[in-house]
Amino acid sequence: RTKEPGRRVTSVTLLERDGAKLPALEEAARCARATVRGAFLARDLVNTPANVANPEFLAQAARELATSGLEVTVGDAQWAASEDMGALLAVSRGSANEPRFIVMEHDPGRAQQPTVVLVGKGVTFDTGGFSLKTRDGMVPMKADMAGAAAVIGAMAAIAELDAPVRVIGICPCVENMADARAYRPSDVIVARGGTSIEVISTDAEGRLALADALSYAGDLQPSAVVDIATLTGSSIVAMGAGVSASLFANDDQLAQRLAGAGDATGERVWRMPLFAEYRKTIESQVADMKNSGGARGGVGTAAVFLQEFVSYPWAHIDMAGMEVVDKPGQRQYLSSGASGYGVRLLVELVRSWED
């Protein structure tokens, strides 16, 4: 990286004295190119203003990847209703922009390959709904779809690299606004699969969209599912902004794979507990559970909420605080704006899966 104004690196030449190592060097360069392109795509999506980057905008970005070998389908509000996605639809009710449910599949066609599902939260703007955010707290909320951007960018790279693993990317995309149709605190909604949820906070909307997506993922007979989301401010309190994402998992091997991928890429994760006490904070007298444990619920509350919708090896990455760089120098290889966090992590997870 050059620090001289007006100058930028346009090419890099790699030298290797040992000719036997040349194929490995070329493969490393190929992987780097694909991953960088995926990260740049994610950064561009997150940096796009929310009046442009609505759910349909993300869906179109995914559709354009179909030319790279991905099979892409997009469900609208009517499709979501046919799938009984009551949680996703509740979040979207207050917006003039309909939800989009993006599914991207990379299938290398190899026999007996595992199926890894990547799920990214795609809240394209989050006002908090009727549980309204503060004026300043609302400003950065165009980045609340950074999880979906990471999955879209990772899927682009995975397709380009023709990874030997079947990978399916899912992005439930909604906009959380407040109007006469919007869902309210004290509402009871029913998620896909029949779980009833008492709404305590309409600002705990990401986990509702993810709940239906995780239920849908279960129908795909996955070997593992990883969701990634800017889910809670509690994760920033626990880990520090720009330091590490919080990792929750019900499977030790999957947690170890993600920790190794984080170490290899510099996109760190730190495993957190799924204590039973967190589940008690979301017990409800009128529904199967609440969508929030309140201000003192802790970083694990959202994770145990999501755990209710999984029946397979699963990990949840709360990337809140990792999605943007507020000032240059915070991480030396990044400029201000979207970081593209998650793309390299997820690509490395998939690439190393067969090891």
Catalytic residue annotation: 133, 207
CA angle 334, 266, 105 (to 5 degrees): 90
Edge-to-edge strand ranges of the sheet holding 289-290: 188-190, 196-198, 289-290
Q: Which of 232, 225, 246 is nearest to 315 (CA)?
A: 225
CA angle 59, 305, 103 (to 5 degrees): 20
DSSP bridge pairs for 289: 197
Three-state secondary structure call for residue 173: strand
Measure the CA dihedral 173/179/181/187, to 10°. 80
Q: Find all residues with CB under 8 Å of 74, minimum gap 6, and list them.
A: 59, 62, 63, 100, 101, 102, 103
Cα(100)–Cα(271) distance, integer angstroms: 31
CB 220 within 8 A of CB 117: yes
Question: How large is the angle between the packed helices 22-47 and 343-351, nearest 10 degrees?
Answer: 140
Cα(122)–Cα(116) distance, integer angstroms: 19
Structure tokens at 27: 């493969």
Measure the CA dihedral 122/136/130/177, to 10°. -40
CA gyration radius, the chain: 20
CB 318 within 8 A of CB 227: no
Instruction: Read off φ and ψ for residue 207, nearest 5 degrees.
Output: -70, -25
Distance of CA 186 to the CA centre of its chain: 27
Three-state secondary structure call for residue 246: strand
